[in-house]
Amino acid sequence: MSRLLVSACLMGQKVRYDGQAKTLLHTCLARWNSEGRVVPFCPELAGGLAVPRLPAEIEPEQDGDDVLAGQAKVVDRAGGDVTAAFLAGAAQAVKIAQSRGCSHALLTEASPSCGSSFLYSGHHNGMRRTGFGVTTAALRAAGVAVYAPHQIDALSLDCAW
């Protein structure tokens, strides 16, 4: 049975930097969960970060691929370099996806870990830009198809998984 790796915060777990969840209520997700096909996962906690934690962003004009390549950092609001935790979490995500048979992932948008279409600017100024996070980059490199919440209908039509 193919499974779906899902950002833990979308499943109602209070693991975001501010201690909140970002619960996604959708009939497809509820059905997949009842079928035992959902694998909730938070890469930032898996990488060793705490709840709550300072919000972090990938450096301006860089994305998850650049972080994986060692060419960009993830920096928290106080200027702390949290790159190592993000890389560790991304590696864990790939490991879990492979060991649990997750061919697809449904990840929270805009996160420096889980974002798949856009990110925050990297200046901690609330502005958004096109880009994707570190875990998304690692999963894609491992052949996992990553979807954002606004793409869940497309995901439900993708019968391959």
Q: Which one of the spans 2-10, 23-31, 97-105, 120-128 is the region binding ligand SF4 (CB under 6 A)?
A: 2-10
Long-range contacts of residues 114-118, Cβ cutoff 8 Å, at least 24 apart: 114/7, 114/43, 115/148, 116/146, 116/147, 116/148, 117/148
* Site membership for ligand SF4, residue 83 (CB under 6 A): no
* Site membership for ligand SF4, residue 108 (CB under 6 A): yes
CB of 106 to ligand SF4, least distance (A): 10
Alpha helices in the chain (DSSP H): 27-34, 43-46, 64-68, 83-100, 134-141, 152-157
User: How far is Cα 10 from Cα 76, in angstroms, rounded to an integer?
Assistant: 22
Nearest to ligand SF4 of 43, 122 (CB atom):
43
CB of 5 to ligand SF4, least distance (A): 10
Give me the residues that bind ligand SF4 (CB under 6 A), please: 7-9, 15-16, 42-44, 108, 111, 113-114
